[in-house]
Structure 1
């Protein structure tokens, strides 16, 4: 594999397309929720996507799908992946898709904190600590000033927001575990397969246990499954891995702030969700914090030249 490149017009355009797709994820789950619960949607899409990814693993050189050194970390990753999306599914039943996607994408902040304590090479700089502080102020801001919701009997929205934030923490734990385990050396399709298969194994029975297994096979339900299986869980992730293998990850990560923005916009446009002013302000702070943490090298260079 050749040296990874900096961003060019093609990579930038593809990243914007990916952020649009990822921003639609929670919105589409919510649109189809009346016909098929979010948890069942995620379980089925994970199983179908695993079937699509499995043949690709066979084409890769040096995969160790059944080796204990990779399998046990793979099971742990599958559990964390399932926990993340169980929390996302439950959050979507209580709060808006807009709130869910914004709070889910606080994950990079928790990844930075976790790796800071575990890897000397990932120690946070003063610039990054300032970004984390800004992001946490933003998180707090999204939760305050909601007394009117409580008075109207909508305390479930706050619970849904908390579950979405916990889902972001689970996502961060998945990323940290991947970085610190043997799977860091594995091909991305192998890691993805573990997570998708585990997502089906854990979440499909969970849908029955929680009484959320009923499916009405409407066009909306089928369309949601097609979108999530083919576009979201398979094509977009394959494209993401291709970008990671050809372009610098730090440059690609700069686009991460676009996904919750698209998610918020789609929630308003497609679901007619209303967004409180404090949540908008908190979202801005969270995204600024994520950008500061992700772009610290660029910020340091700019400060150096000022």
Structure 2
């Protein structure tokens, strides 16, 4: 059953996941010292698939089952893999800051998709405005680093990546996959991407695995265990219990946490714009999740 409003557990879990996802942006940089991007994502999916299958077997949950959701699961896996393909292609052509801004148009894709295809999850005008305010907050956070190294193709590829990210959520909520357990939903995406991403890495002539230093191995373990297994499992649990567009509004916190961790761990610059950006994102999240006012006449 979908709950219309977040409770304390959901808010705590969402903020924690955004912290985890933001930290992952920094951890990936350590992994790139020894493993190319798509291969790194592929190894993450392979390792997390093994953990997830072991978890499902331990709990007695069937891995293969005739439930009418197989092809929808395969579609989700392909969308999941394409998302990473276009994001990494964008990063090769434009700056990380520009990629981040265009990537976080994804909540708008989710909002429009669930409005059209998922009954009962439509956003009001105030909630739509909240998404826009939160997006402006992300823009403010990254505007100082929007330099001249721009590429129309790179920006367009980032937008395509955002579309596939949002489309994954919409297909999940609008298809029979919404009745699956979070583990089964995640299994399709991990297994399909585990097959596709290493192949794409080879086709695009990535160097693959270059060096497995302790920091690179630590980065891979973090991504496999905490990000792809624990983090995504919790994410899909949330999607099975709460409105997708409201969950998507919290993702605007992720790049801000990413900047914060980059400052703490990598000693990257932190600007005063971050304070204003955080306030805007918080205001946007509040507007999206504010309970609707009930109006009525006393008869």
Please state which band the TM-score falls in when normalised by the shorter chain. Answer: 0.7 to 0.9
In structure 2, stretches of 5+ residues that fail to align are none
Checking the alignment, whether the CA contact within 8 Å between 1:81 and 1:174 is kept in structure 2 is yes
Deviates more, 1:103-112 or 1:179-188: 103-112
Q: Could you tell me the TM-score, scaled by structure 1's length? A: 0.76
Spell out, residue by residue over 1:250-284, the C-alpha distance to the aligned partner (whole angstroms, 9 max, x if none): 88767544322211212344345457888997786
Checking the alignment, whether the CA contact within 8 Å between 2:90 and 2:154 is kept in structure 1 is yes
- The equivalent position to 1:226 in structure 2, one of 217, 221, 224, is 221
Checking the alignment, whether the CA contact within 8 Å between 1:131 and 1:288 is kept in structure 2 is yes
Shift of residue 36, structure 1, vs aligned partner: 0.9
Matching residue of 1:56: 55
Shift of residue 44, structure 1, vs aligned partner: 0.5
Aligned positions of 1:63-102 closer than 5 A: 65-67=64-66, 69-94=68-93, 100-101=99-100
- The separation in 2 between residues aligned to 1:95 and 1:275, in whole angstroms, is 21
Aligned positions of 1:138-177 closer than 5 A: 149-150=147-148, 154-156=149-151, 160=154, 162-177=156-171
- The equivalent position to 2:233 in structure 1, one of 228, 238, 243, is 238
Shift of residue 208, structure 1, vs aligned partner: 0.8
- The separation in 1 between residues aligned to 2:127 and 2:29, in whole angstroms, is 34
- The equivalent position to 2:190 in structure 1, one of 172, 180, 196, is 196
Matching residue of 1:7: 7
Spell out, residue by residue over 1:193-236, the C-alpha distance to the aligned partner (whole angstroms, 9 max, x if none): 00001111110111111111432112222111111011111122
- The separation in 2 between residues aligned to 1:108 and 1:252, in whole angstroms, is 9
Q: Could you tell me the TM-score, scaled by structure 2's length? A: 0.78
Matching residue of 1:187: 181
Matching residue of 1:258: 253
In structure 1, stretches of 5+ residues that fail to align are none
Q: Secondary structure at the match of 1:155?
A: coil
Matching residue of 2:128: 129
- The separation in 2 between residues aligned to 1:120 and 1:7, in whole angstroms, is 22
Checking the alignment, whether the CA contact within 8 Å between 2:100 and 2:255 is kept in structure 1 is yes
Shift of residue 55, structure 1, vs aligned partner: 3.0
Q: CA RMSD in A?
A: 4.0
Matching residue of 1:270: 265
Distance 1:287 1:205, change over 3 A: farther
Spell out, residue by residue over 1:72-121, the C-alpha distance to the aligned partner (whole angstroms, 9 max, x if none): 11111001000111223334445565655554344222201111122342
